């Protein structure tokens, strides 16, 4: 089944993950809870005084996008949501409450696969409500220097991501594919975040990458070689991770989209700017709902997968 078809879904059972933030270095525990149809994806973030703030996973709540994608524009925020949101989008989860007790989603292994494994363990159930999606009707493009990103009409959800680094190990790489849960799980979910050893001290000085390690990041040394003992998971792991980031950033549309997202040398800021540009132009998209008979209510366990 494709990402843009079928009925709304949520988790069959609650599940919990814990770890540290890649930038803050702070520990965080995340509880994933089933939610009713049409709830959407909602973070419940506890502040230092114990007060719980609701932050919806929507483009209107996007804050900083310098080194990660942050949600929350009124003081209380949740950083580095993109790897989690990519897993949510890929696994076709429409309704979920995410309780988090720290400022940043745990980085885990630097990819999305641990979130997907947790969702598999919890089980995913169909709900008696049709999915809604955003159908791209015309091209919307945003340029920034030598970088650009755009949405184009297409009959499925598709990503065409190209990167170009002044580093012999990476160079110019491209990943292009229609996207569904099977493709994401097989081709994208295990691709880890990456960085350069030469940038570490500058990042630390700015309060970033405090939780980064070889357990959660691909690190490129001064000799332009990967220093992780296990090497790369894919020969082109770098562009696959940039695709993972794009899936997570665009999940903040609030609904899956039908169209093609293309980019060249993009990152969180340009991904989210292009999403906002699409949503700001009401002639560029339409909201549609999947058709079909609503499923009969059945015990959650019978629908878990």
Asked whether residue 216 falls in the same domain as residue 163, the answer is yes
* pLDDT tens digits, 229-284: 999 999 999 999 999 999 999 999 999 999 999 999 999 999 999 999 999 999 99
In this prediction, residue 304 has a pLDDT band, given cuts at 50, 70 and 90, of very low
Active-site residue, 44 included: no
Which one, of 253, 239, 60, 238, lies nearest residue 140 by Cα?
A: 253
Which one, of 2, 189, 186, lies nearest residue 92 by Cα?
A: 2
Residue 2 lies in a domain: no
* pLDDT tens digits, 93-124: 999 999 999 889 999 999 999 999 999 999 99
In this prediction, residue 3 has a pLDDT band, given cuts at 50, 70 and 90, of low
Residue 123 lies in a domain: yes
Rounded to two decimals, what is the model's pTM? Answer: 0.92
Q: How far is CA 6 from the centre of its chain?
A: 21
Q: What's the burial of 103, exposed, middle or buried (CB within 10 Å: 0-12/13-18/19+)?
A: buried
Asked whether residue 35 falls in the same domain as residue 175, the answer is no
Asked whether residue 138 falls in the same domain as residue 254, the answer is yes
Q: Which residues contact 29 (CB under 8 A, 6 or more apart)?
A: 16, 17, 18, 100, 101, 102
Residue 293 lies in a domain: no
Instruction: Give the residue numbers spanning the domain of 13.
Output: 7-131
Asked whether residue 155 falls in the same domain as residue 122, the answer is no
What CATH number is associated with residue 50? Answer: 3.30.230.20
Q: What's the burial of 290, exposed, middle or buried (CB within 10 Å: 0-12/13-18/19+)?
A: middle
Residue 296 lies in a domain: no
Asked whether residue 104 falls in the same domain as residue 162, the answer is no
Cα separation, 124 vs 134, in Å, equals: 22
Q: What is the mean pLDDT of the chain?
A: 91
Asked whether residue 26 falls in the same domain as residue 149, the answer is no
Residue 303 lies in a domain: no
**In the listed set 83, 102, 131, which residue is the last one of a domain according to the structure?**
131
Asked whether residue 110 falls in the same domain as residue 230, the answer is no
Pair 267, 165: CB distance under 8 Å: no
The two three-digit tokens of residue 240, written as one number: 């696959």
Give the 3-state secondary structure of residue 275.
helix
Asked whether residue 109 falls in the same domain as residue 181, the answer is no
- Count of domains observed in the chain: 2
83 is in an annotated binding site: yes
44 is in an annotated binding site: no
Asked whether residue 83 falls in the same domain as residue 216, the answer is no
Asked whether residue 72 falls in the same domain as residue 202, the answer is no
Asked whether residue 118 falls in the same domain as residue 168, the answer is no
What CATH number is associated with residue 174? Answer: 3.30.1700.10
Pair 256, 3: CB distance under 8 Å: yes
Mean per-residue pLDDT for 68-75? 88
Cα separation, 33 vs 12, in Å, equals: 9
Q: Does the pLDDT at position 293 exceed 70?
A: no
Q: Does the pLDDT at position 25 exceed 90?
A: no
**In the listed set 131, 146, 170, which residue is the last one of a domain according to the structure?**
131
Cα separation, 267 vs 249, in Å, equals: 9
Which one, of 23, 37, 76, lies nearest residue 53 by Cα?
A: 76
Residue 304 lies in a domain: no
Residue 301 lies in a domain: no
Residue 240 phi, psi (nearest 5): -65, -40
Asked whether residue 148 falls in the same domain as residue 114, the answer is no
* pLDDT tens digits, 29-67: 999 999 999 999 999 998 767 788 999 999 999 998 888
pLDDT at position 205, please? Answer: 79
């Amino acid at each position: 089944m494709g990402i843009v078809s079928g009925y709304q879904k949520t988790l069959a059972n609650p599940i919990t993950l814990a770890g540290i933030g890649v930038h803050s270095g702070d520990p965080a525990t995340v509880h994933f809870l089933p939610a009713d149809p049409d709830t959407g994806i909602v973070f419940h973030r506890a502040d230092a005084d114990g007060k719980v703030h609701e932050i919806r996973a929507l483009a209107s709540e996007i804050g900083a996008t310098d080194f990660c994608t942050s949600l929350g524009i009124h003081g209380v925020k949740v950083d580095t949501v993109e790897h989690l949101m990519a897993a949510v989008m890929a696994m076709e989860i429409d309704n979920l409450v995410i309780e988090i007790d720290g400022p940043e989603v745990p980085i885990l292994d630097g990819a999305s696969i641990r979130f997907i494994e947790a969702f598999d363990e919890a089980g995913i159930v169909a709900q008696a409500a049709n999915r809604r999606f955003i159908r791209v009707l015309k091209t919307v493009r945003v340029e920034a220097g030598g970088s650009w990103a755009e949405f184009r009409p297409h009959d499925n959800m598709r990503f065409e991501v190209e990167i170009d680094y002044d580093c012999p190990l990476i160079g110019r790489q491209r990943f292009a594919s229609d996207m569904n849960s099977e493709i994401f799980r097989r081709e994208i979910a295990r691709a880890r975040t990456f960085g350069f050893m030469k940038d570490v001290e500058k990042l630390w000085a700015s309060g970033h990458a405090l939780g980064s390690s070889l357990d959660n990041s691909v690190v490129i040394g001064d000799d332009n070689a990967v220093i992780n003992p296990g090497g790369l998971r894919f020969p082109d792991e770098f562009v696959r991770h940039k695709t993972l980031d794009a899936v997570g950033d665009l999940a903040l549309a609030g609904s899956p989209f039908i169209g093609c997202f293309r980019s060249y040398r993009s990152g969180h800021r340009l991904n989210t700017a292009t999403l906002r540009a699409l949503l700001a132009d009401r002639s560029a998209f339409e909201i549609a709902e999947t058709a079909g008979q609503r499923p009969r209510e059945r015990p959650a366990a019978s629908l878990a997968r």
